[in-house]
Structure 1
Amino acid sequence: MSRRRNNLIGRELDVIEKTVKQRPMTFDDALGLFIKDAERKALREFTIIYYRRECNDFRRYLLREDKLNNIDQVVRDDIDTYIDDMKGNRKLKDGTINTKLRAIRTLFNFLYNGKYIANNPMERYPLLRERKGNVETFSMKQLRQLLNAPDRRTFIGQRDLTYMLLCVETGIRLNEAAGLLVEDVKLAEGSIFIRQTKNHFHRYVPIQSKMKEQLRRYLTLRGTCETDQLFITLDETALKRAAMQKIVAHYGKKAGIKGVRCSPHTLRHTFAKLSVMNGAGIFELQKILGHSSMEMVRVYVNLFSNEVSEKHKSFSPLKNLDI
């Protein structure tokens, strides 16, 4: 039998001070505590922005329901109605709704575990079942068009080309690329150190001769400046994530690419596709991509592996059928 914790926390302390009934906790107070805790845990800035944005979306719903002034009044039915509103009135996709539910679930789990609320309306609340769509990737023709779009006679063109090539070579995420420092480029070892990861596990990703040559060229052009960030602006300040988000779309439009979303994540999917088609195994792919589980890696392998197609040539039921 486990022992109970000796130190009192959250609402347990309120019991001593007899303040529970005097002043109920408002949603804004609860969100403030949650964000402070996220900052104390040194979560990524992008993650904190995500929590704040999605929780404030739920706040707008609570404002309409007149439940902002007492977080304890939020019950499971409110979550149901919130989802109905998002699906029916706002016409949001299931994936978008799940993104919001994950943030709200994290908020209420924090409040419940910290004894700030007596009941957790998100406890074991299921996410919506999403239909898995096709994984969008660039064709080889589109990829060549995209990479030929930057003006290589300009610093910005060389910088953006380097960034896009790095995405294709390593499959790194947008946030990971935005967090790269000059010292993370290990040309002698043929690798890039990824420090700003999704799961907080640092990793090295390999790079080959073409990528090393482009990085060496870019680093020479970049020179030294006050910021340590790898990718910089003409003012020699760090290139922000929001600006990097627009790079692929900008060159996709310039190259006239149609029928596929031009984004950093499409480059990541393209890396996975080309790697699988070139014989990469699931374990190598998982390590390079930084996935904590095999789920997404198996999706890539199932979609893009040539192995089944090649073996089917030998056992096709129609192979020896004369008709």
Structure 2
Amino acid sequence: MTAPTVTSLLQGFFTQRLGRQLQASPQTVSAYRDTIKLLLLFAGQKTNKAPSGLTIDDLDALTVGAFLDHLDNERHNSTATRNARLAAIHSFYRYALPLIPDRAHTASQVLAIPQRRHDRAIVSYLTGPETDALLAAPDRTTWHGRRDHALLLTTVQTGLRLSEMTGLTIQDVTTAMPGAAVHTTGKGRRERATPLTRQTVDVLRTWLPEAGPSPSGPAFPTRRGTPMSADAVQRLVALHAATAALACPSITSKHVTPHTLRHTAAMALMNAGVDTSVIALWLGHKSAVTTHIYLHADMSTKERALARVPTTNTTPGRYRPGDNLIAFLEQL
């Protein structure tokens, strides 16, 4: 019996494992597809082979390790992105392992590559004045400006993920009051409806007729009527953030991305006193524990807690070491 090729293994992985057995969401399939595509192009360049001509031996642990270094050094990916790419590769090799017993050692070595530990920074979000400056940045006398303004406002108010925004269609938006909401399917195929404020409804009622005539068309399309890519949305957010920084310089210190706007929506709810379990439902989190990152970012919550703590009866002082060697070490 002929050993399965990389091409047949990948076809089985995407159609059988992800498509039929796991019924993975379109977002998961897209993320895994992008990772495998990058890996094949990298390995093809390294071996001077076409991607369809690669073998499992061409995708061994050394090549995968070099690919991860490429993500770090050439593509400047974050540790979280690197780990997500590695998780996709691991998933493929777990599927392939029983199908390639003669290359089990190759698959096992790839599966042994560990995830990288990394520090979890406090989330970055925009304050009220910064949000206002960002929303005022697009030129609403133009079609693109009206689209960008509607997209930014919807993202800041709903906290939708980037993939959810690019996948949003006109028929997913209900502007009738009461009950105005956007309907999405997020991670884990979890469907949810996120309510809209009166301000957002007014903007969307004006914008959506310009988006296109088809209810199944994208809510925020390109000029050609196609859905915007994730890169395009990231570029427009960066562009308008740079414009907003001219009016609100504090934005300059922040790396504003679509996910920053999601954090901004969560922090607005947090500052309004909304419970974290409700915020988890709002954002489509699998667990309310995930939402605890916003408690760490909310200084006002910590300051209110500190105000309840009684002060200690102590006076300021300074420790002075009594030994020359200890004094030297303290100065290092």
TM-score bin (small chain): 0.7 to 0.9
Which of 302, 310, 314 does residue 296 from structure 2 map onto?
302
Matched, 1:107 2:92: yes
2:242 match:
253
Whole-Å Cα distance in 2 between the matches of residues 93 and 311 of structure 1?
Answer: 34
| CA deviation profile, 1:256-305 (whole Å, cap 9, x unmatched) | 34121222111001111221111121111111111112343111122216
Residue matched to 1:55:
36
**How big is the shift at 1:237?**
4.3
Q: Does the C-alpha gap of structure 1 residues 281 and 180 become closer, same or farther in structure 2, counting only changes over 3 Å?
A: same
1:95-136 CA-partner distances (Å, limit 9, x unpaired): 343122111011112223xx3133452557541111112312
Deviations 1:188-240 (A, max 9, x none): 31221113x22211111111211112112223444625852222334444444
> Aligned AA for 1:193?
H
C-alpha distance in 1, partners of 2:126/2:256? 8
CA contact (8 A) 1:226 1:236 kept: no
Cα gap change, 1:160/1:28 in structure 2, threshold over 3 Å: closer, same or farther? same
Please name the residue that 1:116 is paired with: 99
Matched, 1:146 2:134: yes
Task: Give the 3 Å change call, closer, same or farther, for CA 247–75 of structure 1 in structure 2.
Answer: closer
Shift in Å, 1:94: 3.0
State how far apart, in whole Å, the 2-side matches of 1:240 and 1:276 are: 30
Contact 1:192 1:207 in 2 (8 A): yes
Structure 1 residue 206 corresponds to structure 2 residue 206? no
The whole-number CA distance in structure 2 between the counterparts of 1:306 and 1:137 is 14
**Which has the higher mean CA deviation after the structures are superposed, 64-73 or 145-154?**
64-73
Number of the residue aligned with 2:80: 95
User: Among 13, 25, 38, which residue is 2:4 paired with?
Assistant: 25
More helix by share: 2
Q: Within the alignment, does 1:193 sit opposite 2:174 as a pair?
A: no
Paired letter, 1:116: L
Asked if the contact 1:25/1:71 (under 8 Å) is kept, the reply is no
Which residue of 121, 124, 143 maps to 1:155? Answer: 143
How far the C-alpha of 1:48 sits from its partner, in A, is 3.6
**Alignment match, 1:137:** 125
Question: Are residues 152 and 263 of structure 1, via their aligned partners in 2, closer, same or farther at CA, if it must alter by over 3 Å?
Answer: same
CA contact (8 A) 2:295 2:301 kept: no
Over 3 Å counting, the alpha-carbon distance change for 1:163 and 1:86 in structure 2 is closer
Equivalent in the alignment of 1:278:
272
CA shift for structure 1 position 79: 5.6
CA distance in 2, matches of 1:55, 1:283: 36
Q: CA, structure 1 residues 110+279, in 2 after alignment: closer, same or farther (shift >3 Å)?
A: same
Partner of 2:166: 178
Distance across 2 between alignment mates of 1:66 and 1:237: 35
| TM-score, with length taken from structure 2 | 0.75
SS of equivalent to 1:230? coil
* Corresponding residue pairs, total: 298
1:225-236 → structure 2 map (5 Å cutoff): 225=214, 228-236=217-225
Question: 1:138–1:266: 8 Å Cα contact kept in structure 2?
Answer: yes
Q: Deviations over 1:66-88 (max 9, x none)?
A: 99865379666776676577668
5+ residue gaps, structure 2:
246-250, 317-332
Aligned partner of 2:248 in structure 1 is: none
Partner of 2:330: none
1:247 and 1:237 mapped to 2: Cα distance?
Answer: 16
Partner SS for 1:143: helix
- Distance in 1 (CA, whole Å) between partners of 2:146 and 2:213 is 16
User: Post-superposition shift, 1:252?
Assistant: 1.2
User: Are residues 124 and 291 of structure 1, via their aligned partners in 2, closer, same or farther at CA, if it must alter by over 3 Å?
Assistant: farther
Residue aligning to 2:154? 166
Q: Which runs of 5+ in 1 are unaligned?
A: 1-18
Match of 1:217 in 2: 206
3-state DSSP of counterpart to 2:219? coil
Worse-matched range after superposition: 23-32 or 200-209: 23-32
Distance 1:226 1:255, change over 3 A: same
Provide the secondary structure at the position in 2 that maps to 1:205.
strand
**How has the CA–CA distance of structure 1 residues 33 and 145 changed in structure 2, closer, same or farther, with 3 Å as cutoff?**
same
| Letter of the 2:99 counterpart | Y
More off after superposition, 240-249 vs 280-289: 240-249
